[in-house]
Amino acid sequence: MSEGKLIVVTGPSGVGKGTLLQKLLERHPDRILFSISATTRSPRSGEEHGREYLFWSREEFEGKRDAGEFLEWAEYAGNFYGTPKPPIDQAIALGQIVLLEIELAGARQVAQTFPSAKRIFIAPPSMEVLENRLRQRSTDSEEQIVKRLHHAELEVAAANEFNITIVNDNLEIALQQLEKAMFE
Ligand code: ADP
Ligand code: 5GP
pLDDT tens per residue across all 184 residues of the chain: 445 799 999 999 999 999 999 999 999 988 899 999 999 999 999 999 999 999 999 999 999 999 999 999 999 999 999 999 999 999 998 889 999 999 999 999 999 999 999 999 999 999 999 999 999 999 899 999 999 999 999 999 999 999 999 999 999 999 999 999 998 8
Among 10, 19, 24, 171, which is best to mutate for testing ligand 1, by the most ligand atoms less than 8 A from CB?
19
Report strand pairing: 97-101 vs 5-10.
parallel
Query: From the CB of 16, is ligand 2 less than 6 Å away?
Result: no
Residue nearest to atom 4 of ligand 2 (CA): 13
CATH code (residue 126): 3.40.50.300
pTM of the model: 0.95
Structural domain span for residue 87: 5-183
Tally of domains in the chain: 1
